[in-house]
Amino acid sequence: MDSKNAIIYLDIDKDTPKIKFWYPYTLPEKYRREIVEECISIISGDPIFIPEILLIFPISPLKIKVLIKYFKREDPTKKEGISKSAIIFLFAEENDQIYYRYMSYIDSYFSKTISTMLTLEKNGTIDELIYEEIVKLHMILCNLTEYLSSKSQYISKKEEPSRKIFEDNQVEKKKFKVVVLGDPKVGKTSTILRFTDNVFLRAYIPTMGLNITQKIFNVDANIIELVLWDIGGQTKFEIIRKKFYEGASILLLIFDLTNPMSFANVPKWHQDIKKYMKNNKALKGYLIGNKNDLAKKRIVSEIDAIRLSYSLDLEYLEISALTGYNIEIAFHKIARKLLYFNKIEE
């Protein structure tokens, strides 16, 4: 069966997580089990941590992605005084550009449904009526996906080698976590999308805390999987950011060549990850100047950028998410650097 565009209502208990409801009812147990494990892992390690925003997360074994909206309710029976739950919507990977672009808009539907559910629970309403609200949300999201897809203004992407080619290959795949940081509006999400899907996001969409994108490709006879963690630059996401630094293989610090403030804030971002990382492992990486195409509006010079990268012990690259300039070259260079580090550590 096609298990995409399903929805799950998960009750997250530290000892016994439980799926309270899923729709369609034919969603296989394998899907439910994999999704629950991944969604719990995101907030494991902190009994009171709850992301307050809608997240996109890949479920790699199933080749799908999910939208996750965590929420909490007061619960005097718990040591922390709260219980945690999540609404999870499964969707096809090829639709992720839609959700990146309209994240805030879609988040409002999740929030409205959750608010209604909590009110119904507080009033002692039977579970069946609460589950009806989830089915309504499922219908809304399915209709929105179809509608927004028809209105998409993305540039068509080039054909890429089938993922199955890599999966069938006998060469061992090497997987790396890449943390992408920088001020809002510098082009982090656009840069990632240009690399992973050969598209350019023509409207600025504030990253809602965290977006995770994967890319599998071949570099020098090695199969590489980069898992790109696009972490929100807004101050309100500061507490969330430190949760996602751990385990990073490399850091990409992006600034806007036409925005001197984003360049001035680079050391702040470098320090932000440095204070949370053990042994400074994630400080290997690159300083990346975006919007290289805007030559007449450029303010930050190449020599100043190189000097800063040298002081932070980062390599420097210039790109354009709009034109695609240097994107493929940059990420292949990053992959080769990761392979080099991996060989040394082995």
Triad 99, 103, 107: Cα angle to 5°: 120
Topology (CATH level 3) of domain 7-150:
Beta-Lactamase (3.30.450)
141-191 tens-digit pLDDT: 998 888 777 765 444 444 444 444 444 555 577 888 899 999 988 999 889
Confidence (pTM): 0.60
Q: Where are the domains of the chain?
A: 7-150, 163-345
pLDDT tens column, 20-61 = 999 999 998 888 988 888 887 777 656 666 777 788 877 877
Q: Are 104 and 148 in contact (CB under 8 A)?
A: no
- Are both 7-150 and 163-345 of the same fold? no
CA angle 193, 195, 198 (to 5 degrees): 70
Assigned superfamily of 163-345: P-loop containing nucleotide triphosphate hydrolases (3.40.50.300)
Beta strands in 188-345 (DSSP E): 210-219, 222-231, 250-256, 285-290, 315-318
DSSP E strand boundaries for 96-221 = 173-181, 210-219
